[in-house]
Structure 1
Amino acid sequence: MEPYRILIADDEMSFIQLLQKRLSRQGHEVFAFSSPIEALKAVAAKSFDVALFDIKMPELDGLDLLAKAKEVQPTLEVVMLTGHGDIETAIEAMKRGAYDYLTKPVEPAKLELTLQKAAEKGRLIKKSIGLAAAQKTHIGNRPLIGKSSSMLWLTEMIKRVADSDSPVLVLGESGTGKELVAQALHFWSRRADQPFIPLNVGTLPAHLAESELFGHVKGAFTGAHTAKQGLVELAHRGTLFLDEIAELDISLQVKLLRFLETGEFRRVGDPAVRHVQVRVVAATNRDLKEMVAAGKFRKDLYYRLNVVSLPVPPLRERREDIPLLVSYFLNNRFYHGPKELSREAMEYLMAYDYPGNVRELVNILERGVLLSRGSVIQKEDLYYPWESACQDLKLESVEREHINRVLRQVKWDKPKAAELLGIALRTLYRKIEYYGLTPPEQSDHLST
């Protein structure tokens, strides 16, 4: 067990002395107090990884100590100790932000494991907050890139709803920057110092999605050798970003709806109800109304998510933003010396329709940076000789050819192709079927 700094507050002196000695032998730095007032002073003076508070103590009960300690150290994870007659109070403590509760007498091994998991969560959140602070500086110092009316409107709407607790549904084609919108909602809000937890729902097998979201207890299913916190717990007081929400299994949509309405959930295999405060931002590139009509997405979940919807415009509808994006990516994204575009190269980029949107623009620019011979990127550096430079193709045709090219490039490794395309594997399967794409050897066989 990794060494942690542990705070203990319990009015049973013999218990805390025994526990302090046991934990200290394992290398932990332990501060034990029989007075909750003294424990609170310690919280104000030092930073702790985890705390263990008894619920019933003189001077200050465990619930009050929990609240005051959290005010001083918001990331402090607290485990509560209670007698059998105080279970309701312990559950109330969980609702107020306690990590877990244990009933006396407690098994030492169970206590140590719970403290370890609580401390690990605390350190993970602190690390997340550190990353969030860095990202906040980056995002907070610049608007979303664009001067088009649609991007100016989007930026204004993000700022208006950033501090709300209501869910937000971000809509847009693949590659438009929906996660960047979710990040802006988080980092321009009062939650900016709390975790931002992203999850691409489309990458999860249906049987693992519930565990990933809500966690599980030990033995809940085959392979669950230890208990695991779900992402909703890790996102407590912060933002949970659910990308590809349309891919969420219909059976799990009911549980997500309940969580959105109450903030309550159960880990897989655990009857205990837990409570967290999380702002949910969901995103999709699909038409959820059509999915509702087809019975593939719950109507009640759709309306709960769609309190505020933020459409992210495709790049072809905001061409005036392309020079700004090009300048930003060339100056901040690639590290191959100073580069600029020739007039013909910029004209080519301004005329292209970008079925892959901003993500595709980044890929094209990276190719140009790598293939250019000098400091100026020429038009021919931006595409391969076998690619047509003509831009009068229909969007469907361009998308079909792009998907087919990527599949051939990775030798029809579909999971890898889906990752490169930035879409869910299930979405890729649908597009392969829709466009009638087949591997080269299969195509040759069918044509003979």
Structure 2
Amino acid sequence: MKHSQKILILDDEEALRAIIAQRLKRKGYEVLEAGTAGEGLAFLNDTLVDAVLLDIKLPDGDGLLLLPKIKQMQTDLQVIMLTGNGTIESAIEAMKLGAYDYLTKPCNLSELEITLQKALEKRRLLLENTGLRQVVSRHASELKIVAESEAMTSLLNMTRKVAQTDTSVLIQGESGVGKELIAQAIHFWSSRVNRPCIPVNAGAIPETLIESELFGHEKGAFTGAGTQKIGLVEMADNGTLFLDEIGEMPLAIQVKLLRFLESGEFRRVGDTRLRQVDVRIVAATNRDLGQEIAQGRFREDLFYRLNGLTLLVPPLRERRGDILPLVHHFLKTQRKELPHERYSLAPETQEQLLNYDFPGNTRELFHLIERGQILSADGIITPGDIWPEKSAPTLKSSSAFASEEEFLQIFQEHPYPSLDDVEKAYILSTLKKAKGNKTQTAHILGISVRNLYRKLQTYGVSE
């Protein structure tokens, strides 16, 4: 759905409003009309607009006095002043107060249209510059995605492709794997990067408030609604709405969310007016939605609507090649905050981390390393620093062979095996034990990854 730019015509001359509105609608703009300052302010309180055509003389106010209020309500919109009695003094005053330009009535419609186009282009550039500053900031911190394992590099390649579309995306994965980071990447690699990315945690908002949080409410819509509220859906207009923990959303809200996804239309709580926005939906869950559907806790039609494309974030135990790079990234980040502190992992700590299954995934990994930093006496993080003795994981056997029989099988295949035969069998058995993870295989063997690849090539072992 293409977003049409919203123009508010705030002028008490109804005939002039109608002529301008007709011209702008033919050009594809969405036009709002108001004849008084009160009506105009009500529109701006309700709806985000791109530009205002503002009459300098209104029945209930002065346009020059109204201009600062308008700019305060929506700082990025552009205002073009209209008046039948133009003076140099009033023009200068309007420009000082933040107006984009100043036209006298009766205005030439072609001139008005060109001025409006330039004003909207200025607004676009302002938003783009603001957005780029935010992107640079976020890319420097939040969007640092560590991915050296084959599983994660493959996921990120797919994420880049998905980001170029407007299709709804469902991100699945265990708690702590980094689903929100993938959602942010989708937004920042998309054409919507200069617009908001609004996160909503469906599991953290009380059921009685979630509709109001999503769609907003009118003043007096319910007990405690003392003021009008714009919802998160409206705030995400032209951007991305990230629905985290979507599997925990109440069924009653699922119905309204489905209707919104199908049409882009919604109503604030307590309002009869339909509003429309252009929002890209990214949802995430750690639940099995198929099982949730079977048990009647999640709507099947909503699942298919959300599931335009699915991205599965693998757990940390299935991408062990990322464990040590993640630790190094975490320690490097901490060094920026604590420039006088230097931390590193003892070899036995690295070995334990590589052999641990991390049920809490990357969140648990960072918690363990943070604990190690706190308890480390000399900057060398030992196993005792990150695990209490009773909960320390038991290291797997350093031998790559599962049993003596497996080792003796070499002699059955080669009655007089050479050292190369034994080495090849040992490498292949280690690779099998590491489930094909070459980084972990090289670590267990005590050689570099490059050396491992060279040996595999020597022994004629294909990918």
Verify same fold: TM over 0.5.
yes
Query: Highest CA radius of gyration, 1 or 2?
Result: 2
Percent of aligned pairs with the same residue? Answer: 43
What are the equivalent positions in structure 2 for 1:42-441 lying under 5 Å apart? 59=109, 69-74=119-124, 130-138=133-141, 144-333=145-334, 335-336=337-338, 337-390=341-394
How far is 1:315 from its partner? 0.3
How far is 1:316 from its partner? 0.6
Show structure 1 runs of 5+ residues with no match.
Answer: 1-5, 77-121, 393-448
1-structure distance, mates of 2:137, 2:82: 39
Q: Is the 8 A contact 2:56 2:63 kept in 1?
A: no
Distance 1:62 1:286, change over 3 A: farther
Distance 1:198 1:355, change over 3 A: same
DSSP 3-state at the match of 1:190: coil
Q: Is the 8 A contact 2:218 2:227 kept in 1?
A: yes
How far is 1:235 from its partner? 1.0
- Which of residues 55, 60, 64 in structure 2 aligns to 1:20? 64
DSSP 3-state at the match of 1:206: coil
Pairwise CA RMSD = 3.9
Q: Which residue of 2 aligns with 1:102?
A: none
2-structure distance, mates of 1:46, 1:161: 45
Q: Is the 8 A contact 1:314 1:357 kept in 2?
A: yes
How far is 1:63 from its partner? 9.4
2-structure distance, mates of 1:26, 1:152: 47
2-structure distance, mates of 1:63, 1:261: 33
Q: Is the 8 A contact 1:11 1:57 kept in 2?
A: no
2-structure distance, mates of 1:345, 1:390: 12
Q: Is the 8 A contact 1:345 1:379 kept in 2?
A: yes
How far is 1:276 from its partner? 1.0
Q: Is the 8 A contact 2:197 2:241 kept in 1?
A: yes
Distance 1:255 1:133, change over 3 A: farther
Which shifted more, 17-26 or 172-181? 17-26
Q: Is the 8 A contact 2:375 2:385 kept in 1?
A: yes
1-structure distance, mates of 2:380, 2:96: 55
Supply the AA of the counterpart residue of 2:150.
Answer: S
User: How far does the alpha carbon of each residue in 1:134-190 deviate from its partner, in whole angstroms, 9 at most, with x for none?
Assistant: 1135567x5x31222211110111010102111100000000000000011111111
2-structure distance, mates of 1:24, 1:279: 33
Q: Is the 8 A contact 1:316 1:353 kept in 2?
A: yes
DSSP 3-state at the match of 2:298: coil
Supply the AA of the counterpart residue of 1:226.
Answer: T
How far is 1:10 from its partner? 3.4
How far is 1:132 from its partner? 3.7
Distance 1:22 1:275, change over 3 A: closer
2-structure distance, mates of 1:182, 1:71: 29
User: How far does the alpha carbon of each residue in 1:98-138 deviate from its partner, in whole angstroms, 9 at most, with x for none?
Assistant: xxxxxxxxxxxxxxxxxxxxxxxx9xx99777534411355
2-structure distance, mates of 1:196, 1:215: 17
1-structure distance, mates of 2:257, 2:161: 25
User: How far does the alpha carbon of each residue in 1:369-402 deviate from its partner, in whole angstroms, 9 at most, with x for none?
Assistant: 110011211111111234243368xxxxxxxxxx
Distance 1:25 1:270, change over 3 A: closer
User: How far does the alpha carbon of each residue in 1:223-268 deviate from its partner, in whole angstroms, 9 at most, with x for none?
Assistant: 1001101111111111111110001111111111121122111111
Q: Which residue of 1 aligns with 2:416?
A: none
User: How far does the alpha carbon of each residue in 1:313-357 deviate from its partner, in whole angstroms, 9 at most, with x for none?
Assistant: 000111111111111111114544111101000011111111100
Task: State how many pairs are aligned.
Answer: 331
Distance 1:49 1:27, change over 3 A: closer
2-structure distance, mates of 1:274, 1:63: 26
Distance 1:255 1:31, change over 3 A: closer
Q: Is the 8 A contact 2:54 2:79 kept in 1?
A: no
Supply the AA of the counterpart residue of 2:318.
Answer: E
2-structure distance, mates of 1:274, 1:62: 27
2-structure distance, mates of 1:293, 1:214: 28
Show structure 2 runs of 5+ residues with no match.
Answer: 1-49, 397-463
2-structure distance, mates of 1:148, 1:370: 29
Q: Is the 8 A contact 1:175 1:358 kept in 2?
A: yes
Supply the AA of the counterpart residue of 1:135.
Answer: R
